[in-house]
Amino acid sequence: MPIFANETKEQVFWRWFAANEDRLFQFEKDQESTFDHLNNAMAKVHEDLTFEFGPVRTDGTREFVISAGGLKAVFPSVESLHRAAPELKRWKFIKYRQRRTPINDIEYGGVEIKAKEVHYAVFKDEAPGKIGIMLFLDGYAKGEKEGVLGQIGYLFLDEALGEFDVETKVGTIVFFGRDSKYFERRRPLSQLQADFDEWKKGQKGNP
């Protein structure tokens, strides 16, 4: 798509999006190809930008989520792209992955983990104004933080708390298996949202 004079990279992306709106709205018909083209278009704004689609809602609209992929350094690109978003009848544009209630099960890299099988514990973080979180994943072994289970863990935190809060309010994140000595402190992941919101309000003091 040609770039017009004085057109920003964000405007170029949204012009491409509008031109391909029907294909994007019905991406399930050719998901792999559609996502490849969408990834290429977003990479021209920032190479680390990612996205999510919501299901078609009863009012005929669909959410398109602009995500930083859990990278705080990409937040300015999320903000600028969202700020430039056009008004399109069938779309609701959202910045950052939002928290989900109930928390969804996650399948990633050929591994599926159910949300009900995930547990957490909180602890006082060394950084002021932040909370530390231990996440317990069945089968997790030391050193897997950058592997499939580690990535699933981060996705669960985004599901529970939303991408923005994970990057700005959560400090140290530690993953453990069920064999950890800390597992006795576990709570079901479904309770993390309420605990975290109380902590944010200062109702519990330090965890």
Question: H or E stretch including 156?
Answer: helix 148-161
Residue 5: band (very low, low, confident or very high) from pLDDT cuts 50, 70, 90: low
Residue-level pLDDT at 203: 41
Residue-level pLDDT at 146: 64
Average pLDDT over residues 116-129: 93
Residue 6: band (very low, low, confident or very high) from pLDDT cuts 50, 70, 90: confident
Residue-level pLDDT at 201: 84
Could you give the CA distance from residue 162 to residue 87 in angstroms, rounded to a whole number? 24
- Lowest-confidence pick of 43-47, 60-64, 140-144: 140-144
Average pLDDT over residues 167-194: 95
- Predicted TM-score (pTM) of the model is 0.83
Residue 119 has pLDDT above 50, yes or no: yes
| Amino acid code (one letter) for 139 | G
